[in-house]
């Protein structure tokens, strides 16, 4: 992910649920920051100047008293915006080469062999140096917050459902104390420390979502924001092309539980008992292990499990939450049966963090989707329901989306179920096979219409298998063509699932489906 594609702000929530999206960093002088990150002051920067604002890598977001991070990107280099950032009110720029403004200059480091996009345009190691400094600064701020207000760091990882579960956790924890959590999938070497810098001496909880593209990545992130509680959701086939096998994915995801403190020091590992790869991580930690299960009957020994599961006509789940201290009814406002596992993980994390069960249940039942294009389900006045889950796609989340589509359509008389699907990325040698399996999944759930968006081997495998099994299939080259087809063929009461890897930008289809009914239909969909 390039710098320009990062979400601009972090989500900082108070116990009232109100959000502040520009929380300044804990105040530090430039002299203190130099000691924390290494390097030297330059360009007239004074050691006693205090950073009173936020730390930003987008010069457009800089405000008075802030610190600007000069990161190289695919199209622009932040060093070229140093003067602009100072003009916007930054007191200094954190950079890896000289700039003609007050600055902290850190020495370049050997370019990393990481496969992260952020390092793809960094041959001289300038970006790597700034990111390393950012990590050191974030760790210092987290340590200050832990010492000042007993901050609890909660971390989670998994192949699917990380962001939805993170949003659940943030909602519940924010009802018990000031909570900092990232927006969207702000979960890598830049997003995680940038989120941590929103912590203040009053922050009670930091929710750290951790992604991995290889062995050692989660261990690195856990050193920046050392967790006391860590949850592993699942080990699927997302990023299989990068890891090579599910065993390697499990090895990487399990680095989170290895980073937890011992049980005697309050460490807790929350594991999905229904996933054998995750359950097998228990011996890899000295933390206390608790498990959750959505299976019926629940996995043996699971402390948190769901019973009496029911879905309403748009696949919102109601269930009984069973915990070590009793049972409570929960009715979710988010869509899809797969959200039950996300809610269970959030409940386990929050209760183990000390939040009482009635608060947890209230938070789960009131939670609404917080991250864009993730199981965003809206029904138009004509009864057409659009399930916009277009932010990302892997085999597990695709199956969950198809199940939600089929269930919602089945509850309606004469409704047609439409799957508008693009390809799933980063599946390596398994890609064509997984797309063929997805075509079979559509037939299994009796999905009636498929619009396969894109002309590539993956989409061809998807549509060929679906068509062979009786799913009426259309192939279109892009989002605009999909919208045009739907505009003429969708009928009142139909249900439309829109899903693909984020690079396909199929969220355009979902937004246009709503805009066309609202009388604000855009003539040029490709220009959205």
- Binding-site residue positions: 158-164
Quick one: which H or E segment has residue 397? Answer: helix 395-410
The widest CA-to-CA distance across the chain, in whole angstroms, is 72
Quick one: which H or E segment has residue 451? Answer: strand 449-453
**DSSP three-state, residue 342:** helix
When computed from its CA atoms, the radius of gyration of the chain, rounded to whole angstroms, is 23
- 106-to-139, 465, 476 alpha-carbon distances in Å: 17, 54, 49
Nearest CA to 152 out of 261, 241, 49, 73 is that of: 261
**DSSP three-state, residue 218:** helix
**Numbered residues of the known binding site for ATP:** 158-164
Cα angle 82-191-1, degrees, rounded to a multiple of 5:
85
**DSSP three-state, residue 124:** coil
- Two structure tokens written together for 136: 């050191």
CB distance 333 to 367 below 8 Å:
yes
Q: Residue 404: phi, psi to the nearest 5?
A: -65, -40
CA 76 from centre of chain: 25
229-232, strands of its sheet edge to edge: 19-20, 11-13, 179-181, 205-209, 152-157, 229-232, 268-272, 288-293, 304-311, 316-323, 326-335
CB distance 249 to 243 below 8 Å:
yes
**Strand pairing of 304-311 and 316-323?**
antiparallel
297 preceded by a cis bond (ω within 30 of 0): yes
Side-chain-facing half-sphere of 528: CA atoms under 13 Å: 20
CB distance 122 to 108 below 8 Å:
no
**DSSP three-state, residue 146:** helix
- Two structure tokens written together for 328: 């409570």
């Amino acid at each position: 992910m390039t710098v320009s594609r990062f979400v601009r702000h972090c989500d900082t929530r108070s116990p009232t649920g109100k959000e502040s999206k520009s929380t300044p960093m804990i105040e530090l002088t430039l002299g203190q920051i130099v000691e924390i990150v290494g390097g030297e002051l330059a360009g007239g920067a004074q050691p006693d100047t205090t950073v009173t604002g936020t730390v930003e890598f987008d010069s457009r977001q800089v405000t008075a008293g802030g610190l600007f991070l000069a990161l190289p990107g695919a199209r622009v280099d932040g060093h070229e915006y140093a003067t602009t950032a100072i003009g916007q009110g930054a007191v200094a720029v954190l950079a890896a080469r000289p700039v003609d403004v007050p600055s902290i200059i850190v020495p370049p480091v050997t370019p990393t062999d990481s496969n992260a996009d952020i390092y793809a345009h960094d041959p001289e190691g300038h970006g790597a140096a700034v990111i390393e400094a950012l990590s050191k600064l974030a760790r210092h701020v987290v340590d200050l917050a832990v010492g000042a207000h007993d901050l609890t760091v909660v971390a989670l990882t998994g192949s699917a459902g990380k962001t939805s579960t993170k949003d659940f956790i943030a909602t519940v924890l924010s009802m018990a104390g000031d909570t900092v959590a990232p927006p969207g999938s702000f979960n890598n070497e830049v997003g995680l420390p940038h989120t941590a810098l929103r912590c203040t001496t009053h922050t009670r909880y930091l929710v750290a979502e951790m992604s991995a593209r290889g062995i050692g990545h989660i261990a690195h992130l856990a050193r920046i924001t050392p967790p006391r509680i860590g949850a592993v959701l699942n080990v699927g086939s997302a990023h299989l092309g990068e890891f090579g096998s599910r065993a390697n994915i499990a090895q990487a995801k399990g680095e989170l539980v290895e980073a937890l403190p011992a049980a005697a020091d309050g460490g807790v590992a929350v594991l999905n008992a229904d996933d054998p790869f995750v359950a097998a991580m228990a011996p890899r930690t000295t933390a206390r292990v608790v498990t959750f299960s959505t299976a019926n009957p629940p996995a043996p020994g699971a402390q948190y499990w769901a019973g009496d599961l029911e879905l309403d006509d748009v696949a919102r789940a109601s269930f009984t939450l069973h915990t070590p201290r009793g049972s409570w009814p929960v009715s979710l406002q988010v869509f899809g049966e797969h959200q039950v596992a996300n809610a269970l993980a959030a409940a386990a994390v929050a209760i183990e963090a000390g939040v009482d069960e009635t608060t947890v249940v209230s938070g789960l039942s009131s939670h609404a989707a917080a991250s864009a294009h993730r199981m965003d389900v809206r029904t138009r006045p004509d009864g057409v329901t659009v399930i916009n889950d277009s932010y990302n796609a892997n085999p597990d989340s695709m199956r969950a989306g198809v199940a939600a589509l089929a269930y919602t359509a089945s509850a309606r008389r004469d409704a047609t179920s439409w799957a508008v699907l693009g390809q799933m990325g980063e599946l390596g040698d398994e890609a064509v096979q997984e797309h063929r399996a997805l075509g079979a999944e559509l037939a299994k759930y009796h999905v009636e219409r498929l619009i396969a968006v894109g002309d590539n081997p993956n989409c061809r495998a998807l549509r060929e298998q679906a068509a062979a099994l009786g799913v009426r299939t259309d192939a279109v080259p892009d989002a605009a063509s999909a919208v045009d087809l739907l505009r003429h063929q969708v009928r009142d009461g139909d249900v439309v699932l829109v899903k693909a890897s984020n690079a396909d930008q199929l969220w355009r289809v979902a937004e246009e489906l709503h805009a066309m009914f609202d009388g604000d239909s855009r003539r040029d969909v490709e220009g959205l």
